[in-house]
Amino acid sequence: MNLMIKMILRKLPLKSIYKLGEKVIMHKTFKKYGQIVVVIIIVFLAKYFVSLSFLNEVIILSIFVMSCNFLLGHGGLLSFGQPLYLGVGAYATACYLFYFGQNPLIGIIIGLIAGVIFALGVGAVIIKLRSDYFALVNAALNMIGFFLAYDTFAKFTNGLDGMWFLTRINPLFGIDVTIEKNFFIFAVLILLIVLLLTKHIMNSMFGTICLAAKTDEKKLRFLGYNIFKIKLLVFIYSSLLAALAGSLYAIHFGFVCPSMMEQEKAGEIVATVILGGVGTLFGPLIGSIVIIAAKDLTSNIIQHWEVIVGALLVILVLTADKGMIGLANGVISKYKINLRNIE
Amino acid sequence: MEINLLGPAILFGFSDGCIFFLVSIGLSLCFGLMRIISLDQCAYYLLGAYITYSVTLATGSFWLGILVTIGLVALLGLGVERVIYKNIYSKPITYTMIVSFGFLLFIIGVTKFIWGLSPIPVKAPINGSSALIGVDFPNYRIFIIIITFVIYLLISYFLNKTIVGKAIRAGIEDMEKVESLGINGYKLFKITFVISCVLSSLGGAFHGPLIMVEPYIGMSILLYMFITAVLGGLGSLKGTMVAAIIIGEVMSLGSIVWPPSTIILPFLIFIIVLMIKPTGLFGTKLLKR
């Protein structure tokens, strides 16, 4: 990408602009985070091509998928119960906005805190389990959480009817966030922060250690690292992202209901992660675009999306791809363009 | 809790447990021998219920439906094993979970397409009820208990007295040594997988008349199947039977005490057992391959 920008700039007659451009591209921060900025700009400009509600849904879903992607790609932990953490964040924000206050930003912060505390409590117990047990204990917890939301705590959460609080959401710094346009800007900003943070974590020492722990735990233990703490931190970060996505859902729709935590969604999320590319940064974004577009396009035969998702899962795992990002990388390296690979 | 509900609850729990046994023994054997988590046993369970229903509707004979189900599911299992599982035996276990889950989703979608979404009530082949210990029990449930017992004895005989069965039991413990004896490990895998699929489909066929058959029963049985297999110990026949009866009884008795406990109690048991004894009730040492 740097080369392409260089070639474009070279065509311009003014040498000084070229020199300035070169300085920017060669700066190490741009090299690290430039792709993210470009992607954010593309997402922002996409509002002129596709509907805003589609984009909003994609952004929120991609944050949720990023949580599952980080858990699977860096922690090596497969979980069939991620919607539970989404629900924790959503319901925490919903309870705050319904009963206590009206500021959406504080609502999101409360959702994040609830997500972290919940993940800390649950993770400390279940991280030690073997991979298949971990996946299905999460599924079991998901069902228990669903049941708690619609039955046990129905006094507070209104059971299956869900909680409505759209009118209670105050404007954030004077801008009403529940309007599609304003929410879109808000969501894009949050996506930018999340992408930067995740990229920073992935590139840091911690990210490398996570990948090492995924490959060979024993050797890492010999080096003196505490595997339990590493996996717990990965788990907490992923639950943080899931709770953030839940809070965004709550604020966007002004409505939460137990069906956000349905167990059926768990399989869909895993499929989206693998579709986009496990362990990559932009995989979740691409995956959620494809999944939501596929669901919308097949909406007249909506019964059949499971066939597509299921078949995709089988084919992708068998061909050992890295999802769509892997395909893109393959295509790019085929044409031998000296572009840095998309992450 | 009423005392006169206790008798039927125990019998119902027994028969539900038998169904869980039929579905879980496949997962248990597959994991024990091949180290794969075959979540697609639920897909064969689902297909078993639907194919039996369709054949019974078309020809009027439940037993013909059972035979057709066994034949079709065995073929499907062979195909799946060759196409899907052959390539991922060497990969980490997570891949098998994802792939089998994907296959399960695929089959649920196909079932939705062919038979539609609406729940179908299936007629039981054996009607009437007999009085045992002063309470009326449906004959069909007694039949399920009897036939599960017969199947258990058959599997037990197969695993203990035949060469193939003994090879499978040895393979569950140590596959390398079995192969060094000259036994074709891959054939054992194929046989075990097909037997598992057939048993799961029988579980589905027998369970059909007891519940409303709809495409998502494939998903709802997933967790109970896994809980039963883990509770009993992956790879152990006796353990799975005992665990299935326990889970069936707990759910049945729980439902007359406090209805929501049918959902909560099995999961609580699951989590507690995993904390205390991760290998399950009758499981052997934790398996590394």
A-chain residues within 8 Å CB-CB of B103?
310, 313-314
pLDDT digits (tens, 9 = 90+) for A88-97: 999 998 888 8
Cα B249 to Cα A7: distance, rounded to the nearest angstrom: 73
pLDDT at position B44 over 90? yes
Contact B103 A310 (CB under 8 A): yes
Q: What percent of chain B has pLDDT over 70?
A: 95
Mean pLDDT of B77-93: 86
Enumerate the domain spans of chain A. 54-263
Structure confidence at residue B289 (pLDDT): 42
**Smallest Cβ distance to B105: which of A132, A151, A267?**
A267
Residue of A nearest to B98 (CA): A313
**How many residues are there in chain A?**
343
Looking at the complex, report in whole angstroms how far the Cα of residue A26 sits from the nearest Cα belonging to chain B. Answer: 40
Enumerate the domain spans of chain B. 3-276
- Does residue B141 contact residue B132 with C-beta atoms inside 8 Å? no
Cα B278 to Cα B254: distance, rounded to the nearest angstrom: 24
pLDDT at position A172 over 90? no
What Rg, from alpha-carbon coordinates, does chain A have? 21
Mean pLDDT of A126-145: 84
Q: Residue B169 is encoded by which pair of tokens? A: 């039991």
Mean pLDDT of A87-107: 85
The pLDDT mean for chain B works out to 86
Structure confidence at residue A59 (pLDDT): 92
Structure confidence at residue A68 (pLDDT): 93
Structure confidence at residue B71 (pLDDT): 93
Residue of B90, B100, B105, B262 to mutate when probing chain A, most A C-beta within 10 A: B105
A-chain residues within 8 Å CB-CB of B109?
303-310
Structure confidence at residue A11 (pLDDT): 66
- Find, among A101, A140, A88, A5, the residue nearest to A260 by Cα: A88
Q: How confident is the model at residue A17 (pLDDT cuts 50, 70, 90)?
A: low
| H runs (alpha helix) in chain B | 6-34, 41-59, 62-83, 93-115, 139-161, 163-173, 175-180, 185-207, 217-232, 237-257, 261-276
pLDDT digits (tens, 9 = 90+) for B88-101: 887 778 888 888 98
Alpha-carbon distance values, B68 to A12, A291, B198, B250 (Å): 74, 37, 11, 33
- Does residue B41 contact residue B196 with C-beta atoms inside 8 Å? yes
- Does residue B53 contact residue B209 with C-beta atoms inside 8 Å? no
pLDDT at position B196 over 90? yes
Lowest mean pLDDT among A42-51, A232-241, B211-220: A42-51
For domain B3-276, the question of CATH label 3.30.2000 is answered with no
Interface pTM, i.e. ipTM: 0.77
- CB of B272 less than 8 A from some CB of A: no
- Find, among B246, B218, B240, the residue nearest to B29 by Cα: B240
Residue of B nearest to A128 (CA): B275
Q: How confident is the model at residue B140 (pLDDT cuts 50, 70, 90)?
A: confident
pLDDT at position A105 over 80? yes
The pLDDT mean for chain A works out to 82
- Does residue B165 contact residue B153 with C-beta atoms inside 8 Å? no
Looking at the complex, report in whole angstroms how far the Cα of residue A304 sits from the nearest Cα belonging to chain B. Answer: 6
Contact B104 A130 (CB under 8 A): no
Contact B109 A312 (CB under 8 A): no
pLDDT at position A320 over 70? no
pLDDT at position A35 over 70? yes
DSSP A175: B
At a CB cut-off of 8 Å and minimum separation 6, what does A113 contact? A92
